[in-house]
């Protein structure tokens, strides 16, 4: 897995990159009340707004970590946004992207570097 400084995790599954928020982000957000997801088939550029998470503390825009096409979204979050808090690395994933360039993932943090970053 790779991690961004914006507290997203990226898990490579074949030629797809699954994206979610880290445990750290889930803890910081608190109780999550609403999730807005992108649409399957959306083309996104890096840093495009592509999702919104609303919690008791704040509303957070989720930016696309890489360019590509949204190929899957976790629709379970629409009816159960608490999955993001309960299982952010597993069932609480946000969306999956077919990346334009897998090499874009090389610049992100590995787990050890991310743990130091949130220190």
State which residues form the domain around 24: 2-101
Question: Can you tell me the distance from the alpha carbon of 87 to that of 93, in angstroms, rounded to the nearest whole number?
Answer: 8
Phi-psi region of 41 (alpha: psi -120 to 50; beta: other; left: phi over 0): left
pLDDT at 57 over 90: no
CATH number at residue 44: 2.40.50.100
Average pLDDT over residues 61-90: 95
* Overall pTM surpassing 0.85 (yes/no): yes
| Per-residue pLDDT tens digits for 1-42 | 999 999 999 999 999 999 999 999 999 998 999 999 999 999
Residues with Cβ within 8 Å of residue 40, at least 6 apart in sequence: 70, 71, 72, 73
Is residue 39 assigned to a domain? yes
| Per-residue pLDDT tens digits for 92-102 | 999 999 999 99
Average pLDDT over residues 45-52: 95
Work out the end-to-end distance of the chain between its first and last CA atoms, rounded to an integer number of angstroms.
18
What is the count of structural domains for the chain? Answer: 1
Question: Can you tell me the distance from the alpha carbon of 113 to that of 119, in angstroms, rounded to the nearest whole number?
Answer: 9
Rounded mean pLDDT of the chain?
95
Is residue 112 assigned to a domain? no
């Amino acid at each position: 897995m790779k991690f961004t400084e914006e507290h997203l995790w990226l898990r490579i599954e074949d030629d797809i990159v699954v994206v979610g928020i880290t445990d750290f982000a889930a803890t910081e957000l608190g109780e999550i009340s609403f999730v807005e997801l992108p649409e399957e088939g959306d083309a996104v550029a890096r840093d495009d707004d592509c999702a919104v998470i609303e919690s008791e503390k704040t509303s957070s825009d989720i930016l696309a970590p890489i360019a590509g096409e949204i190929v899957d979204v976790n629709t379970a979050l629409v009816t159960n946004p608490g999955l993001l808090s309960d299982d952010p690395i597993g069932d609480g994933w946000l969306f999956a992207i077919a990346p334009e360039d897998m090499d874009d993932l090389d610049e992100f943090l590995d787990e050890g570097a991310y743990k130091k970053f949130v220190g």
